[in-house]
């Protein structure tokens, strides 16, 4: 089964539409596929929309010269759609980033940070096929 990846040619980003779910709540959103990120990151905006608690401290994450405290949330579900309209539900811990200070510009900068689908997702066994020239990119899911 294939999960279609949408190439945003303007921003030069690979995006995947998803539903994000925690117990009793869901939102529609999208991920940017980022093989440079070891972990999957839930952006600050979607963490607010889902009311994900910022309790369990994770690593300090450095991005572009700034340091952010990460918070790990385990009861997180990502729902993908395959090309033949099947749903693929993945349980994956996600990290939410918060600025180490509450300076308004740092908080607002995090508002604009995308959700990142990291290597921890690919480690679950999904194959990545990417042919930008021919506009064909997808994740392949093994049917069990």
Partner 1 sequence: MLSDLELLQSSERDLRWFNANSDMIREKFVGKIVAIKDGCVVESAGNINELLEVLKKKGIDQSEVLIEAISPANEITIL
Kindly tell me which of 23 and 36 has the beta carbon lying closer to partner 1.
36
Buried-state track 27-61, b at ≥16 Cβ within 10 A, e below 16:
eebbbbbbeebebbbbbbbbbeebebebeeebeeb
Q: Pick from 24, 112, 133, 142: which binds partner 1 (CB under 8 A)?
A: 112
Contact status, residue 107 vs residue 99, Cβ threshold 8 Å: yes
Binding mask 16-45 for partner 1 (x = CB under 8 A): -xxx-----xxxxxx-x-x-xx------xx
Q: Which of residues 40-99 bind partner 1 (CB under 8 A)?
A: 44-46, 48-49, 64, 79-81, 85, 87
Told to check if 9 binds partner 1 by CB under 8 A, we report yes
């Amino acid at each position: 089964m294939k999960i279609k990846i949408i190439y945003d040619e303007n921003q030069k980003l690979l995006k995947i539409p998803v539903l994000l779910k925690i117990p009793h709540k869901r939102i529609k959103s999208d991920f940017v596929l980022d093989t440079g990120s070891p972990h999957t990151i839930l952006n600050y905006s979607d963490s607010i929309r889902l009311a994900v608690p910022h309790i369990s401290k994770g690593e300090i994450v450095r991005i572009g010269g700034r340091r952010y405290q990460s918070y790990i949330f385990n009861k997180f579900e990502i729902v993908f759609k395959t090309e033949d309209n099947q749903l693929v539900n993945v349980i994956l811990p996600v990290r939410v980033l918060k600025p180490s200070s509450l300076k308004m510009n740092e908080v607002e900068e995090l508002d604009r940070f995308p959700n990142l689908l990291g290597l921890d997702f690919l480690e679950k066994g999904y194959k990545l096929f990417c042919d930008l020239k021919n506009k064909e990119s997808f994740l392949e899911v093994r049917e069990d």
